[in-house]
A = this chain, B = another copy of it.
Amino acid sequence: MSSGDFSAEDSRFMQRALVLAERGWGTTHPNPMVGAVIVEDGEIVAEGWHARSGEAHAEKAALAALKRSPRCGAKMYVTLEPCSTPGRTGACTTSIINAGLSEVIVAADDPNPLHAGRAYPVLAKAGIQVRSGLLAKQATRLNRIFNHWIQRAQPFVAAKIALTLDGKFATRTGHAQWVTGQEARADVMRWRRLFPAIMVGPGTILADDPQLTARLEVETWCPQRIVLDRTLRTVLEDAPLPRVYTDGDRSKTRVFCSKLASAEKRQRLLELGVEVVPMPSTLEGSPLLKAVFTACGQAGLSGVFIEPGPGLFSSLLAANCLNMMIHYTAPKYLADAGAHGVGGLRPPLSMDQALTLDEVEHQAFGEDMRTIGLLPNT
């Protein structure tokens, strides 16, 4: 196995495999997105990707799509190290060896420390050339949810916020529609589609009465919806209930509340078919948030996408619960110290105590900017 040099052609094929991997955007949980292409004489002759947990892995999908045996000298480009343990669908290394491929080029190693790199000697022993590390960064980024989940058995937690250049969520009166433009808001829908679960606080439910669905051109999809509402103040007594408790997807809504929250309100939600998770009444702030994410993990949720308002965001920062920020900045100023901004940390006294993002990526959406970065020490 070498992590040797790669040609421009190699990169082109792997780029294609990454595009194929993304076809599993949001549908592979708890599995990763993976794409693969088979190349003969410098041309792609078959493509595959992992579509859904329990269905074929990308390597097998590509081999199946070929509908014949690969020719002598055929190579496979695959975005993730092939599995070498049988699992539900048989080890991909076995399929690759049986198919008689001559070379396998891999982007990212298996993130599971127990499996990482184990495919390579298996393939090499069978006389297959192996190179790895081509576009590894992109491939790893694509599967942050899976990687985190497999390494820590805790959900990968991302928060999306949209602020003005001067760091405001909303005017002092709470008005926030809209901070960003259409393109940025469409991008948020893609993130909602990626994560198995979406979470908001009570303020957002009361202010916006959101559906929390991913409204895409091709489909509207409802993730597991999580409402964090300790006192169940979103269960209004003298107004229509919010949509997440009453719409056709209400069985996909889960409310975390305190055990002390009104039994009557809890009953009302249960009768509607909404799931209610009472948490120990002693829990609030950081311990409550940590317990909620642990519960999410125990429920098999590999990732949680949060759209916090100012209050929940401050609590999340203070609790050090966030793994990733998806931060949209709109080119505007409210220039009002009284508008809703970000708080929550023990006041940093020098600039180097600021909470600084890692692996920062910027991308423009219309006139808005999206900054993605990882939180340190999470």
Chain A residues with CB under 8 Å of chain B are 163-168, 170-173, 175-179, 314, 317, 325, 327, 329-339, 341-345, 347-351, 353-357, 360, 362, 364, 367, 369, 371, 373
Contacts and interface: CB of A to CB of B under 8 A. Distances in A.
Contact of A349 (B173, B345, B350): B173
Counted per complex, copies of this chain come to 2
A177 to B, nearest CB: 6
A189 to B, nearest CB: 20
Nearest to A318: B335
A157 to B, nearest CB: 16
A360 B165 CA distance: 12
Contacts of A166: 163, 167, 341-342
Contacts of A330: 354, 356
Nearest to A175: B350
B350 A334 contact: no
A341 B341 contact: yes
A349 B336 CA distance: 10
A336 B345 contact: yes
Nearest 9 CB-CB pairs, A to B?
Answer: A167-B167, A335-B345, A166-B342, A166-B167, A332-B354, A331-B357, A332-B356, A337-B343, A336-B347
Main SS at interface, chain A: loop
A367 to B, nearest CB: 4
A204 to B, nearest CB: 16
Contacts of A369: 329, 362, 369, 371
Contact of A360 (B317, B331, B341): B331
B333 A355 contact: yes
A17 B330 CA distance: 33
A325 B360 CA distance: 23
A336 B347 CA distance: 5
A332 B369 CA distance: 15
A183 to B, nearest CB: 12
Contact of A342 (B171, B176, B335, B360): B335
